[in-house]
Amino acid sequence: MNANLILLLITGALVGMISGYLGSFMVLKRMSLVGDALSHVALPGMAVALILNLNPMLGAFIALSLAVIGVWYLSEKSEIYPEALVGVFFTASLAIGILITPEPELLEALFGNFEKVGLIDAALIVFASIIIFTVISAISKKLILGIVSEDLAKVQGIKMKTINLIYLFLVGLVVALGVKFVGTLLMGALVVVPAVAAKNISGSIKSYQITSSLLGITSIVIGLLLSKSLNFSSGPIIVLVSISIFVLSYIFKRK
């Protein structure tokens, strides 16, 4: 196993871990469809970055940040549900992204290509992962309380609007980190599916979060190794591994 593959596996494991961890909150908040649709918003940002010869992850994060602010603001000021708002952003962004993404890079942007992950990308993933874990650890109890009862959280003086905005930013950041591994079309699955699988076999909130993170790591590491050996795009293989784990967790739960 060469050094480059080891680096890819380490950075991929980090992406899988933070995806699973953030996904555990998303499933509890019943926002799974939001997480899946939000990943598609990264495509036009990646397209613009590719046209300008910039890092696609940077373009993805900027596009996702704008979408997060827009969805959060409209959900607070409008009577439309966040799922519907994200659906609007999703369809518009996907259409625009497909139109403006340079054709040679379109498949990679949609389905991922882990071989394009370089040293700069790896450094960004490590740095961003530290930030995500630090921030989510600081707000996790408030998030859980808000999931149980937003009214109770407000009585405790917690500003849930701000907490929700911070959480959505973190989701946007982890999606941007994972687009080179899984692609914009499938990244949402890496956030949602390990968390759903973990929910089938966990008995407490703490074990649920840990299991979700471990299943995220397992999905991306096994997926990367299989895609390398089979010479397939990494995104579909990683997602299929993740779904296989979910099926096994469901069978185990039923038994």
Q: Which domain holds residue 54?
A: 3-254
pLDDT tens figures, 113-158? 777 777 787 888 888 888 988 898 888 888 888 887 777 777 777 7
Confidence (pTM)? 0.83
Neighbour-count burial for 161-178, b at 16+ CB within 10 Å, e otherwise: eebbbbbbbbbbbbbbbb
Helices 234-254 and 160-182, interaxial angle, to 10°? Answer: 120
Compute the C-alpha angle 23/88/239, nearest 5°. Answer: 35
Cα separation, 118 vs 125, in Å, equals: 11
pLDDT tens figures, 194-251? 999 998 888 888 889 899 999 999 999 998 899 888 888 778 888 899 999 999 988 8
Q: What is the CATH number of the domain that holds 151?
A: 1.10.3470.10
DSSP single-letter state for residue 31: -
Other CB atoms within 10 Å distance of the CB of residue 54: 14
Domain count, the chain: 1
